[in-house]
Amino acid sequence: IKIKITNIDIPVAFASAFEGEIIRRKDMQVEFDGSRVDCAELVQTCDASEIEDHKITVVGPEVDDMELGSKNSIAYVVKVAGKNMQPDFEPVIERKFHNYINCIEGVYHTGQRDMQRIRISIDAFNAGFKIKHIGEVLYASVKNEFDAVVDKCEVVIYTDPAECTRVRHEVAIPIFDKRDERLDTLTDESVDVYYSCILCQAFSPSHVCVVTPERLGLCGAVSWLDAKATHQLDPNGPCQVITKERPIDENLGSYEDVDEAVQKFSQGALEHVTLYSIMQDPMTSCGCFECICGIEPFSNGVVIANREYAGMTPLGMTFPEMASMTGGGVQTPGFMGHGKHFISSKKFMKAEGGIERIVWMPKELKEFVAERLNKTAQELYGIENFTDMIGDETVATDPEALVEYLTEKGHPALAMDPMM
Ligand code: SF4
Ligand code: ZN
């Protein structure tokens, strides 16, 4: 990340050196937690006349009024205006909040949308850090990095719990839903181009994500629309157009254009990449996959584990163990990192038979994807309640018990061809 403004008016330091800083519970003054209380972070495009540039408003209590160690609500709306601004840029700007807020010394941020989590350290609080300073950081960073499209910027930060509930449910969620619906109507066939993303080459030098409408980046944070907007905002930046005029095999999702692009963007480290196969030239993985999927030979299927899952999988490996054989920007047939939303995609492992291969997922992940996954299974194979057939840690963490469960449920993977 490039941050040009270094003298933001806040009482603590602001630098990318603080990005990896973790604030432990005992060192924390207060926290904000979207998984427990109503929170949201949002960019909203407004008319220039509606915005007073550099105005920062806090609606509700300041940190001083919050109890030491308490969990609170927070919702910030960054209003922007500019003649080149487009609503499609909103999520791209929002996604950067994570980096911006993490660059504050003594402040930690994870998550996005209405699931963000922020901690302010006791040291930062003692140095005089206040909620309004989050606004200063967002203002300065957005104006600085998105100066090509943002002419005016105003920040409203809500800490009043009732206001946070209102902003989350009445303003933010309807906007997030609308964005997701727009993406849902797009298919890989309905667009003319895909996009590359090489944002992660800082850590995985040969890694290239090929982002399509039905396959988002493996971090889960870059959809095709986001990649498109990123390219428009920064034509020489991390997301480049990949044409798809010369298909090789539609079932595998292989194209001469895609191969040429990954060769170029990986500096020759990759030669062939397919979009829809986990066995043949699968996409590489960096380190920030939301999930990892790996083949489970006893059931002819695949097991998926998400990063949050701390337990054992039927592969005899935990998530970190699976991650150690998947990351680093290399191709590992049989293992693949991917985003959570990809699980319900009609293009998920299409070459190997698709989502019918999924035999196991942690319960929490299964519940998260259930609605969308069941809809896809219904549409593709006419299977009702497909997630009921998929094992989880409450029924099996070893292959024998899993196969027994799958047999009992009549899981379709058992009758499919072996993957190896
Ligand atoms: Fe981009 Fe892929 Fe990294 Fe996500 S995981 S930031 S899509 S390179
Ligand atoms: Zn990455």
Q: What is the pLDDT of residues 296-334, one digit of tens each?
A: 999 999 999 999 899 999 999 999 999 998 988 889 999
d(CA 285, CA 280): 14
Residue 4: the pLDDT is 55
**How far does residue 344's CA lie from ligand 1's centre (Å)?**
19
Q: Which residues contact 145 (CB under 8 A, 6 or more apart)?
A: 1, 2, 3, 96
In the listed set 158, 183, 208, which residue is the last one of a domain according to the structure?
183
Q: Which of 183, 202, 221 is the last residue of a domain?
A: 183
pLDDT over 50 at 3, yes or no: no
Among protein residues, the one with the nearest Cα to ligand 1's atom 7 is 217
Of ligand 1's listed atoms, the one at least distance from the Cα of 227 is 7
> Lowest mean pLDDT: which of 199-208, 221-230, 403-412?
199-208
Look at 204 and 407; give whichever has higher pLDDT. Answer: 407
d(C-alpha 206, C-alpha 163), whole Å: 45
Per-residue pLDDT, 1: 41
Q: Structure pTM?
A: 0.84
Span from the CA of 200 to the centroid of ligand 2 (angstroms): 4
Ligand 1: which of 211, 222, 289 to mutate, judged by most atoms within 8 Å of the beta carbon? 222
Q: Is the pLDDT score of 14 beyond 50? A: yes
Task: Over range 277-299, report the average pLDDT.
Answer: 94
Burial class (CB in 10 A: 0-12, 13-18, 19+), 4: exposed
Residues 101 and 232 reside in one and the same domain: no
Residue closest by Cα to atom 5 of ligand 1: 219
User: Same domain, yes or no, for 116 and 137?
Assistant: yes
Q: What is the percent of the chain where pLDDT is above 70? A: 99
Structure tokens at 107: 């402040």
140 C-alpha to center of ligand 1: Å? 25
CB distance 76 to 138 below 8 Å: yes
- Which listed ligand is nearest to 238 at the C-alpha? 1
Q: Is 149 in the pocket of ligand 1 (CB under 6 A)?
A: no
Instruction: Decide whether any atom of ligand 1 lies within 6 Å of the 134 Cβ.
Output: no
Q: Which atom of ligand 1 is nearest to the CA of 217?
A: 7
Ligand 1 near 199 CB (within 6 A) = yes
CATH number (domain holding residue 45): 3.30.1650.10
pLDDT at 2 over 50: no
Q: What residue's CA is closest to ligand 1, atom 6?
A: 199
Residue 232 lies in a domain: yes
Q: What are phi and psi of 392, to 5 degrees?
A: -150, -175
Among 178-182, 200-204, 248-252, the least confident range: 200-204
For a pLDDT cut of 90, what percent of the chain falls above it? 89
104 and 222 in a common domain: no
Q: For ligand 1, say whether the CB of 92 is within 6 Å of any of its atoms.
A: no
Residue 1 lies in a domain: no
Is the pLDDT assigned to residue 414 strictly greater than 60?
A: yes
Residues 172 and 242 in one domain: no
**Using 50, 70 and 90 to split pLDDT, how confident is the model at 256?**
very high
Candidate from 98, 206, 288 with most ligand 1 atoms within 8 A of CB, to mutate? 288
Same domain membership, residue 131 and residue 243:
no
CA distance 329 to 204: 5
Query: What's the CA-to-centroid distance between 158 and ligand 2, angstroms?
Result: 32
In a domain, 70, yes or no: yes
Cβ of 218 closer than 6 Å to ligand 1, yes or no, is yes
Q: How is the beta sheet containing 291-296 ordered, strand by strand?
A: 335-338, 291-296, 301-306, 358-360
Whether 209 is in the pocket of ligand 1, judged by its Cβ within 6 Å, is yes
Q: What is the DSSP letter of 391?
A: B
Give residue-wise pLDDT tens across range 22-51.
899 999 999 999 989 999 999 999 999 999
Max CA separation in the chain (angstroms): 66
Last residue of a domain, one of 138, 155, 183: 183
Could you identify the atom of ligand 1 that is nearest to the CA of residue 239? 1
Q: Are residues 315 and 286 in the same domain?
A: yes
More confident residue, 111 or 339: 339
In a domain, 100, yes or no: yes
Q: Are residues 124 and 213 in the same domain?
A: no
Q: Compute the mean pLDDT over every residue in the chain, rounded to the nearest whole number.
A: 95
208 lines ligand 1 (CB under 6 A): no
Mean pLDDT of 218-241: 94
Q: How many domains does the chain have?
A: 2
Lowest mean pLDDT across 7-16, 55-64, 338-347: 7-16
* Residue range(s) defining the domain that contains residue 290: 193-415
Two tokens, residue 300 = 């002819």
Q: Is the CB of 85 under 6 A from ligand 1?
A: no
> Which listed ligand is nearest to 209 at the C-alpha?
1
- Residue range 372-383: mean pLDDT, rounded: 97
Which ligand sits closest to the CA of 226? Answer: 1
- For residue range 117-134, what is the model confidence (pLDDT) as tens digits? 999 999 999 999 999 999
Atom of ligand 1 nearest to the CA of 238: 1
Report the C-alpha gap between 4 and 110 in whole angstroms: 23
Whether residues 172 and 210 fall in one domain: no
How far apart, in Å, are the Cα atoms of 160 and each of 45, 64, 136? 23, 14, 19
Ligand 2 centre and the CA of 197: distance in Å? Answer: 10
Whether the pLDDT of residue 378 is over 90: the answer is: yes
For ligand 1, whether the C-beta of 304 sits within 6 Å is: no
pLDDT band at 19 (very low <50, low <70, confident <90, very high): confident
- Judge if ipTM > 0.85: yes
Nearest bound ligand to the CA of residue 286: 2
Mean pLDDT value across residues 138-148:
95
C-alpha–C-alpha distance, residues 22 and 130, integer Å: 19
pLDDT band with cut points at 50, 70 and 90 for residue 257:
very high
What's the pLDDT at 5?
Answer: 55
